[in-house]
Amino acid sequence: MIGCSVAFELLKAGKQVTLVERGTLFSEASSASAGMLCPQAEMLAAKTETIRNFYRVSGRIHREWTRSVEEVSGRPVDYRQDGMIRVFLDHDLADSQFQSIEDAHLLSELTKLSPDEVRSLEPSITEETVGGILFSGDGQLHPLRLAISLKSALARLGCRILEHTVAHELLHSGHDVIGVRTSEGDLFADTTVVAGGAWSSALLKTLELDVPVVPVKGQMYAVRSSNVKLTHVIQGFGTVVLPRLDGSFTVGVTHEMAGYDKRVTVAAIADVHKQLCRGIPEMKHAEFAASWAGLRPGTPDGLPYIGHVDGWDGLIAAAGHYTTGILLGPITGVAVRQLVLGEEPLVPLDEFRPLRAMQMA
């Protein structure tokens, strides 16, 4: 998602772009993702006003960005801003979340829901609910549809796409990064952007840069149920559920430190399903449709790395988007384009400095 989003913005600005991909584009974390677009939920969790604003702007530009991808490619991405409901089964959690809406000054943007209001919006939710929060600006897209659409848009814009090509090492002359050594030979560029998801650290290590990104495994599955009707993305009782346009539901998700292991386990899926049935009892009778896993690019502080790498000219990092890379793809693409063209940034990037972990050590 991140490399493709950066390429999309740079190509539209008239730049020549080469994408180097070890496998096939959009096949790792990005295709495994749920496709939730929840800027408002992220705003509620944000630790600073700058980060809150970053998510606000991310949400604002996503619709226009997806339209632009659809226009260039001629293919839909199933973007829907139908809202997200966070459902509570526990009074303490509900009270603390309601309080955080006030603390974050988000009362005008988010809606507290009583148990009756939750059930009138979503009758499939258990009668045990003690309330919820409506994030009306949140929504979803279908990651696999986005993959097809974005890849086709990149091809139409003239992107040079080198799949099945491994980037081994960053090439430099003094403190200028001049390109990358790949399995197919050396490539030279004015600017090299590292957007390798959970594998980004290794490439930056070739310049002895310590930019920690760790894989955080997420397992998900899909079910069908004619008895359950949902119109919003539902989060709560330890799960997320996304109603898809084809009538299926995407359910998740685990957060596991399991290295680069992407196997799906019965235990994890059974555990998530048990949680799901607490919140949506009719899911007990759902028909299993599919399962998969992916590796989120996690960072120690949960924030991405977006920006020039201090001490090196011609090198930009765009990595570590952890749980929100599908939401943050467009804003990352715009931010990198602005860095490359020397434009005024749409959002401040100080909190996302690539070397912040090294500088604090």
Ligand X SMILES: Cc1cc2nc3c(=O)[nH]c(=O)nc-3n(C[C@H](O)[C@H](O)[C@H](O)COP(=O)(O)OP(=O)(O)OC[C@H]3O[C@@H](n4cnc5c(N)ncnc54)[C@H](O)[C@@H]3O)c2cc1C
Burial class from Cβ neighbours inside 10 Å (0-12, 13-18, 19+) for residue 357 reads middle
| Residue 2 binding ligand X, by CB under 6 A | yes
Report the C-alpha gap between 63 and 50 in whole angstroms.
21
| Residue 21 binding ligand X, by CB under 6 A | yes
| Residue 83 binding ligand X, by CB under 6 A | no
Stretch that binds ligand X, among 26-34, 99-107, 305-313, 345-353 (CB under 6 A): 26-34
Long-range contacts of 283-289 (CB under 8 A, 24+ apart): 283/223, 283/225, 283/228, 283/249, 285/225, 285/227, 286/223, 286/224, 286/225, 286/228, 286/249, 287/223, 287/224, 287/225, 288/221, 288/223, 289/221, 289/222, 289/223, 289/224, 289/248
Q: Which residues contact 91 (CB under 8 A, 6 or more apart)?
A: 130
Cβ proximity to ligand X, 115 vs 333, nearer residue: 333
Stretch that binds ligand X, among 108-116, 120-128, 189-197, 204-212 (CB under 6 A): 189-197
Residue 219 CA from chain centroid, whole number: 15
Stretch that binds ligand X, among 60-68, 108-116, 198-206, 305-313 (CB under 6 A): 198-206
| Residue 315 binding ligand X, by CB under 6 A | no
* Residue given tokens 């990092």 in the structure block: 317
Count of residues in contact with ligand X, rule CB under 6 A:
39
Residue of the chain from 83, 179, 297, 314 that contacts ligand X (CB under 6 A):
297
**19 close to 331: Cβ distance less than 8 angstroms:** no
The conformation of residue 282, written as its DSSP 8-state character, comes to G
| Residue 170 binding ligand X, by CB under 6 A | no
| Residue 179 binding ligand X, by CB under 6 A | no
Question: Which region holds residue 243: left if phi is over 0, alpha if psi is between -120 and 50, else beta?
Answer: beta
Residue of the chain from 157, 161, 166, 358 that contacts ligand X (CB under 6 A):
166
For residue 221, list its beta bridge partners. 251, 291
| Residue 1 binding ligand X, by CB under 6 A | yes
Cβ proximity to ligand X, 179 vs 196, nearer residue: 196
| Residue 241 binding ligand X, by CB under 6 A | no
Stretch that binds ligand X, among 30-38, 46-54, 92-100, 348-356 (CB under 6 A): 30-38
| Residue 32 binding ligand X, by CB under 6 A | yes
| Residue 195 binding ligand X, by CB under 6 A | yes
Report the C-alpha gap between 115 and 118 in whole angstroms.
5
Residue of the chain from 11, 133, 159, 167 that contacts ligand X (CB under 6 A):
167
Count CB atoms within 10 A of the CB of residue 172: 17
Stretch that binds ligand X, among 28-36, 76-84, 222-230, 277-285 (CB under 6 A): 28-36
Q: Min. distance of Cβ 72 from ligand X in angstroms? A: 19
Coil, strand or helix at 163:
coil
Query: Hey, what are 264's tokens?
Result: 């799906």
Q: Min. distance of Cβ 346 from ligand X in angstroms? A: 18
E strand or H helix at 52: helix 49-73
| Residue 324 binding ligand X, by CB under 6 A | yes
Residues 246-285 that bind ligand X (CB under 6 A): 252-253
Q: Min. distance of Cβ 9 from ligand X in angstroms? A: 14
Pick the closest to residue 107 from 115, 98, 116 (CA basis).
98
Contact letters (x/-) for ligand X, 110-149, by CB under 6 A? Answer: ----------------------------------------
| Residue 36 binding ligand X, by CB under 6 A | yes
Contacts with ligand X by CB under 6 A lie at 1-3, 20-23, 27-30, 32-36, 166-167, 195-199, 203, 218, 220, 252-253, 294, 296-297, 319, 321-327
